Amino acid sequence: MNKKLGNIADIQFGSYDKPTREGAVKYLHAGHFDKLLKPTKFEDSFIELDDKNEKFLLEESDVILAGKGHRTFAWAYDSAFGKAVPSSLFFIIKANSKEVLSSYLAHYLNSEKVQYNLKLIGAGATITSIPKKELEQITIAIPSIEEQQRIVNLIELMDKEVRLTQELLKKRTALKQGVVNKLINNQMKI
């Protein structure tokens, strides 16, 4: 079944705040996400909750989508990450959890075809900016919750394999450098 994103989710912009080095809540920017779209580079960007920004606090079924800037991507919030508020660079997508899993929706929004369409929607300016009304019109393919979970499990397994391969490549590169240094140092002694 296909549905418009605006029919299965409420969409709002993130909060515009001035981050501090310490605080109770993580304040998310695009630079906090690595190439696999995981928030692994988080540092020195916190805010304190107040009446103005509390409504932007992420909840378990939320997805954020970078709608402004050079990198368009989605991420499904997980409460294990800790309390977080996305910056105004992001859309907060509060999907109906009875229809779509947030992790499935994030992967769907990160798919090549949807990314291409999002870039077309946001084109025309020096920096990409996706209009909310256009985002609401994006069509989402929604299989059963069980099928969504199978898709998410497969993608997460593949992501884990990619991370392990990257770690192995780093270790092999370091090993090679060590061997090269040892060989060169031995030649310098001769």
Residue 87 DSSP symbol: B
pLDDT at 125 over 80: no
pLDDT of residue 124: 66
Q: Check pLDDT > 80 for residue 123.
A: no
pLDDT band at residue 38 using 50, 70 and 90 as cut-offs: confident
User: How far is Cα 152 from Cα 158, in angstroms, rounded to an integer?
Assistant: 10
Q: Judging by DSSP bridges, how do beta strands 25-28 and 84-86 pair with one another?
A: parallel
| Residue 185, CA atoms < 13 Å, CB-side half-sphere | 6
CA 48, 50, 55, 60 torsion: positive or negative? Answer: positive
Question: Residue 99's CB: how many other CB atoms inside 10 A?
Answer: 16
Kindly give the pairing relationship between strand 74-76 and strand 90-95.
Answer: unpaired
Q: What is the mean pLDDT of the chain?
A: 92
